[in-house]
Amino acid sequence: MLEIKDLTVSVEDKIILNNFSLKINQGEVHAIMGPNGSGKSTLSNVLCGKDNYKIKKGEIIFKEKNIFELSIDERAKLGLFLAFQYPVELPGVSITPFLKTAINSKLKSLGKKEIDSLEFAKKVREASEYLGISKEMLKRSVNEGFSGGEKKRYEVLQMTLLNPDLTILDETDSGLDIDALKTVSKGVNRLKRKDNSIVVITHYQRLLDYIIPDFVHILVAGKIVRSGDKNLALELEKKGYENII
């Protein structure tokens, strides 16, 4: 699904990711854990193609394609989805036309015809009910005036409808109370299949109680310093970052 080889990335001459490598197969859930400033957010932004990052070396292969040359939306259309840590507000833009434009844009690039409006509306209704998103919330502008929990549920709603091959959850647990965390995890788990993969980026172990990873990697100073199974996360929780590396 995804292979990152010897990736070195800098921002304003400061190296953030240093010879970073990672391989993710279909159907796997990987957790990347690390302290603040370890390069977690850089990793998700570089994967999605945000600029301001200087790629010094390495490559990223996604679905057998080197994606460096692809723009942000081309990568998204290829099946990459980032659930943002801080989803930005889009005043005046409501979710239905927004997602419809996104889906149709993808269908168009594949040479397929546009999605049927009725079918789409049904899907949105079903997914939002599952995630506890009210009809009133669907009418509002994307993320505008939403609480932290509402924003994260909205991210999962979009993930549900866009049906990506690889999802990156960037600190999805931040700012969530326990009930919201459960709802969001439930929403993510429902989408887990044999042919898609998930990367969970997190600072804390608690999200991993709900979205259970196959592999856990510890990222420090732009490098994976240890990898293991889900027990590594528990160990980390007990000992702290300083004592585990």
Partner 1 sequence: MPNLNTLNNIKKISSEKYKDGFVTDLESERPKKGLSEEIIKFISNKKNEPEWMLNWRLKAYEVWKNMKEPDWSELNYDKIDYQDIYYFSAPKGFESKPKSLDEIDPKLIETYNKLGIPLKEQKILAGVAVDAVFDSVSVATTYREKLSKLGIIFCPISEAIIKHPDLIKKYLGTVIPTTDHYFAALNSAVFTDGSFVYVPEGVKCPMELSTYFRINAEETGQFERTLIIADKGSYVSYLEGCTAPKRDSNQLHAANVELIAMEDAEIKYSTVQNWYPGDENGKGGIYNFVTKRGICKGNNSKISWTQVETGSAITWKYPSCILKGDNSIGEFYSVAITNNFQQADTGTKMIHLGKNTKSKIISKGISSGKSQNTYRGLVRFSKNSSNSRNYTQCDSLLIGNKCGAHTIPYIESNNNSSVAEHEASTSKISEDQLYYCQQRGLTNEEAVSIIVNGFCKQVLQNLPMEFAVEAQQLVGISLEGSVG
Residues that bind partner 1 (CB under 8 A): 48, 50-51, 71-73, 76-77, 81-82, 84, 87-88, 90-93, 97-99, 101-103, 105-106, 141, 158, 162
Q: How far is the CB of 80 from partner 1 (least distance, A)?
A: 8
Please, which residue, 90 or 245, has the CB nearer to partner 1?
Answer: 90
List b or e across 152-162, with b for residues whose CB sees 16 or more CB atoms inside 10 angstroms.
bbbbbbbbbbb
Nearest to 212 by CA among 6, 26, 14, 31: 31
Give SS3 for 45. Answer: helix
Q: State the pairing for strand pair 166-170/197-202.
A: parallel
Q: How far is CA 136 from the centre of its chain?
A: 26
Looking at the Cβ atoms of 10 and 104, the one nearer to partner 1 is 104
- Residue closer to partner 1, measured from CB, 37 or 97: 97
Q: Are 222 and 201 in contact (CB under 8 A)?
A: no
Q: How far is the CB of 231 from partner 1 (least distance, A)?
A: 33
User: Which residue number, 86 or 204, has a Cβ lying nearer to partner 1?
Assistant: 86
Tokens read off for 184: 């969001």
> Between vectors from CA 165 to CA 27 and to CA 235, what angle results, nearest 5°?
50
At its nearest, how many Å lie between partner 1 and the CB of residue 133? 17
CA dist., res. 212 & res. 193, Å (int): 13
Nearer to partner 1, 99 or 208 (CB): 99
Q: What's the closest the beta carbon of residue 45 comes to partner 1, in angstroms?
A: 8
Q: In the complex, what is the shortest distance from the CB of residue 93 to partner 1, in angstroms, rounded to a whole number?
A: 4
Least distance (Å) from partner 1 to the CB of residue 6? 25
Nearest-5° Cα angle at 30, 195 to 70: 65
Least distance CB 241 / partner 1 (angstroms): 29
Per DSSP, the three-state class of 151 is helix
Query: What single DSSP character describes residue 208?
Result: G
User: Quick one: 63 or 238, whose CB is closer to partner 1?
Assistant: 63
Taking the least distance from each CB to partner 1, the nearer of 162 and 191 is 162
- Cα gap 108→31, rounded to integer Å: 33
